[in-house]
Amino acid sequence: MFEKVPYGVKVRVRGNEKDGFIAEYALHTTRFTPFFDDWSLISHYTHTPYTKQDTFPTFELAKEAAMAQYDSWIGFYDRAEETKRIAKAQRKVVWKHP
């Protein structure tokens, strides 16, 4: 368990060499719940078109997919906060000369 979870986004990789590795992510629904158990699978596309699998053949591939999902969610939350910050700064304009 992480000590600090930014924006409530967690990723993990489970599995072994024989059965394959499973990458999962979890999103914190509310900031007041310290633990959350709703893990979603990260699927990856195979070489055949339109085919998805839930297991990765190597740990490194699963780790890369998990970190890509993590970076995607962190980027989404960063953009949302930047948008709020800009909107708040624009609301503070009291008077503007024409």
Q: What pLDDT is stored for residue 97 in this prediction?
A: 72
Cα separation, 56 vs 32, whole angstroms: 33
Q: pTM of the prediction?
A: 0.69
Q: How far apart are the first and last CA of the chain?
A: 55
**What is the CB-side half-sphere exposure of residue 86 using CA atoms within 13 A?**
6
Q: What pLDDT is stored for residue 49 in this prediction?
A: 65
Q: What pLDDT is stored for residue 48 in this prediction?
A: 61
On the question of pLDDT at 85 being above 70, the answer is yes
Mean pLDDT within 86-97: 76
